[in-house]
């Protein structure tokens, strides 16, 4: 579980970085150029929770895909 927590925090931090970079590049008047370290703990936890849920969803979808038949192996019935 610790590995998943680290992965979620890393994803949240990288996502925040690119969100800020793209917002700044678009010249948004509402952009708040806060680095990851400047975020409040509640905001950081919110982003980490969103990243954790994203990773769980992506993992579950990847696990679902492995049960599909390979191309040409499916039996189709009418």
Residue 33: predicted pLDDT: 61
Separation of alpha carbons 35 and 39, rounded Å: 7
Residue 47 pLDDT class (50, 70, 90 cuts):
very high
Apex CA 56: angle with CA 10 and CA 69, to 5°?
125
Q: Is the pTM of this model over 0.85?
A: no
Distance of CA 45 to the CA centre of its chain: 13
* Residues whose CB is less than 8 angstroms from the CB of residue 12 and which lie 6 or more positions away in sequence, other chains included: 44, 47, 48, 50, 51
Look-up of token digits 């950081």: 44
Contact 34, 20 (CB under 8 A): yes
Residue 77: predicted pLDDT: 55
């Amino acid at each position: 579980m610790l590995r998943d927590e680290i992965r979620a925090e890393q994803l949240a931090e990288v996502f925040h970085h690119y969100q800020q970079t793209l917002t700044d590049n678009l010249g948004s008047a509402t952009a708040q150029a806060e680095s990851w370290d400047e975020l409040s703990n509640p905001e950081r936890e919110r982003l980490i929770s969103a990243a954790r849920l994203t990773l769980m969803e992506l993992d579950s979808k990847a696990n679902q895909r492995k049960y599909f038949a390979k191309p040409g192996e499916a039996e189709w019935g009418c």
